[in-house]
Amino acid sequence: MAKRIVEDVENVFYPTKPVVPFLDIVHDRAVLELFRGCTRGCRFCQAGMLYRPVREKTPERLLQIAKDTIANTGYNEISLMSLSSADYSKLPELVDMLMEEFKDKQVSVSLPSLRIDSFSIDIAKKRCNKYVKVVLLLLLKQVHSACAMLSTKALAKKTYWQRVQMPLNLGGIQLNCTS
């Protein structure tokens, strides 16, 4: 079996007319794939090693996909997806573009898959009005310090809990944590 890598993620087909179910489902939102691959190289993560190199879509392309998907589905939430959304190099610019585009359409932006060590308080502060909200999902993985060093996941306990506290101090942000 040969490995296949999509080198040009900018122009690859992306479904903007998914089947929208008539009943409530768990992931009832539009999904934008920011990029493929990962630069972290965590020793326990198979995906981070197998899907290299990192290939990003431009914010302009992602905005067009978002507009098409929202128009075709009627969803009121956009979820920014990747192995780690905070590693997308144009994340602040993209969030600004999405929030500007959808500020009058009551569409929220969700940022799942954020590692606690790469969480950006500036992204969390971006709230245009009462309809546009930022939903954060922080992956709270705290392991024994020796294991953390081996797996390239070292983060001091004090820093760890400071990072968890930051979004809570802002107010107006829905914070979902998982471990």
One-character DSSP codes across 42-80: -TT-HHHHHTPSPEEPPHHHHHHHHHHHHHHH--SEEEE
Q: Do residues 168 and 162 touch, judged by C-beta distance below 8 A?
A: no
pLDDT at 129: 43
pLDDT at 143: 46
pLDDT recorded at residue 33: 92
**What's the burial of 45, exposed, middle or buried (CB within 10 Å: 0-12/13-18/19+)?**
middle
Dmax over Cα atoms in the chain, in whole Å? 51
Residue 69's pLDDT is what? 95
Taking the CA atoms of residue 24, residue 25, residue 27 and residue 32 in that order, the dihedral angle to the nearest 10 degrees is -70
User: Please, what are the averages of pLDDT over each run of 10 residues along the chain (179 residues)?
Assistant: 83 84 77 85 73 89 96 91 84 90 86 66 56 50 49 57 64 52
pLDDT at 92: 87
Distance set, CA 67 to CA 76, 78, 97, 102, 171 (Å) = 11, 10, 11, 9, 28
Q: Would you state the pLDDT for residue 70? A: 95
* Alpha helix segments (H runs only) across 109-179: 121-124, 145-150, 157-170
At residue 150, the pLDDT reads 46
Which amino acid, one-letter code, is at 142?
Answer: Q
In what helix (H) or strand (E) does residue 99 lie, and over which residues does it extend?
A: helix 91-102
pTM of the model: 0.71
Site of tokens 């507009």: 67
